[in-house]
Amino acid sequence: MGDVPPQPTPAIAREGNVIRECRDYKVIFIGAGLLGIHFAARIQQYGLGIKPVVYERNPDVGGTWYNNTYPGVACDVPSHGYTLSWAPWSGWSRFQAPGADCLRYAEFVASKTNIRDITRFNTRVISATWDEDKAEWVLELEDVNTGEKFTDSAPVLINGSGLLSQPSMPKLKGMETFKGPQFHSATWNKTPTSEFKGLRVALVGAGSSSLQILPEIQKQAAHVDQYIRSETWVVTPFGADARADHFKLDLMEALTSEDPKFANPTYTDDDKEMFKNDPEAMQKHRKAILSSTNKMFTEGLTEIDSKPREAAEALYVQMTKAKLANKPELLDLFLPKWSIGCRRLTPAVGYFQAITSDNVGVVRTSVTEVTPTGLVGADGKLREYDAIIWATGFDTTFYPSFKVTGRNNKPLFAEEARAYLTAHAEDMPNYFTVAGPGLMSFNGDFLGGLEHILDHILKFVFKLQRERYQSVCVHTDAVIDFTAYMDEYLKRTVHTQGCSSWYKNGSKDGKVRAIWCGTSLHLFDALLQPCWEEFEWTRYPDERKGAARFNWIGNGRTHSEMNGGDQSWYIPKVDANNIVVPTATDQTPLYELYNF
> Is 45 in the same domain as 161?
yes
Residue 435 resides in a domain: yes
Cα separation, 594 vs 596, whole angstroms: 7
What is the rounded CA–CA span in Å between residue 193 and residue 215? 18
Same domain, 223 and 143: no
d(CA 446, CA 289): 13
What pLDDT shows up at residue 267? 98
Residues 373 and 238 in one domain: yes
- Report the chain's C-alpha Rg in angstroms: 26
User: What burial letters (b/e) apply to 19-37, b meaning 16+ CB within 10 Å?
Assistant: bbbeeebbbbbbbbbbbbb
Q: Same domain, yes or no, for 257 and 359?
A: yes
Closest CA to 76 of 282, 254, 236, 259: 236
Residue 546 lies in a domain: no
Which of 390, 416, 431 is the endpoint of a domain?
390
Q: Does residue 66 lie within any of the structural domains?
A: no
What pLDDT does 256 receive? 84
Asked if residues 438 and 517 have their Cβ atoms less than 8 Å apart, the reply is yes
In a domain, 460, yes or no: yes
The dihedral region occupied by 135, where left means phi > 0, alpha psi between -120 and 50, and beta the remainder, is left
State the Cα–Cα distance between residues 308 and 285, nearest whole angstrom. 24
Examine the domain organization and report whether 280 and 425 are in the same domain.
no
Instruction: Choose one of 494, 514, 537: the last residue of a domain.
Output: 537
Closest to 156 measured CA to CA, from 405, 426, 428, 431: 431
Q: Decide if 41 is inside a domain.
A: yes
Domain count, the chain: 2
Full-model pTM: 0.94
3-state secondary structure of 526: helix
Helices vs strands, H then E, count in the chain: 18, 21
| E strand segments, 167-221 | 182-184, 200-204
Residue 6 lies in a domain: no
Q: Does a structural domain hold residue 68?
A: no
Domain of 439? 25-59+121-166+396-537
Same domain, 462 and 349: no
3 state SS of 157: strand
User: DSSP states of 325-352 as a string?
Assistant: TT-GGGHHHHS-SSPTTSSPPEE-SSHH
* Phi-psi map region of 66: left, alpha, beta (phi>0 left; psi -120 to 50 alpha): alpha
Query: Do 446 and 464 lie in a common domain?
Result: yes
Same domain, yes or no: 385 and 529: no
Q: pLDDT of the chain along its 596 residues, tens only?
A: 445 455 555 555 455 589 999 999 999 999 999 999 999 999 999 999 999 999 999 999 999 999 999 999 999 899 999 999 999 999 999 999 999 999 999 999 999 999 999 999 999 999 999 999 999 999 999 999 999 999 999 999 999 997 666 788 889 999 999 999 998 998 886 665 667 899 999 999 988 899 999 999 999 999 999 999 889 999 888 899 999 999 999 988 888 888 888 999 999 999 999 999 999 999 999 999 999 999 999 999 899 999 999 999 999 999 999 999 999 999 999 999 999 989 888 888 899 999 999 999 999 999 999 999 999 999 999 999 999 999 988 777 788 999 999 999 999 999 999 999 999 999 999 999 999 999 867 689 999 999 999 999 999 999 999 999 999 999 999 999 999 999 999 999 999 999 988 888 878 888 999 999 999 999 999 999 999 999 999 999 999 999 999 999 999 999 888 889 999 999 989 999 999 988 877 777 666 666 66
Residues 230 and 137 reside in one and the same domain? no
Same structural domain, 188 and 278: yes
3-state secondary structure of 361: strand
Domain boundary among 537, 557, 579: 537
Q: Are residues 233 and 358 in the same domain?
A: yes
- On the CB side of 491, how many CA atoms lie within 13 Å of its CA? 6
* 533 DSSP 8-state letter: G
DSSP code, position 508: S
Burial zone of 107 (CB within 10 Å; 0-12 exposed, 13-18 middle, 19+ buried): middle
Rounded to 5 degrees, what are φ and ψ at 287?
-65, -35
CA dihedral 151, 156, 162, 165 (to 10 degrees): 10
How many Å apart are CA 448 and CA 521, to the nearest integer? Answer: 9
Identify whether residues 488 and 473 lie together within a single domain: yes
Q: Which amino acid is at 349?
A: V
CATH number for 319: 3.50.50.60
Do the domain assignments include residue 401?
A: yes
**b/e code 425-438 from CB counts within 10 Å (16+ = b):** bbbbbbbbbbbbbb
Q: Which residues contact 328 (CB under 8 A, 6 or more apart)?
A: 321
Task: Measure the CA–CA gap between 285 and 274, rounded to whole angstroms.
Answer: 11
Neighbours of 289 (CB within 10 A): 26
The four Cα atoms 107, 113, 114, 119 give a dihedral, to 10 degrees, of -50
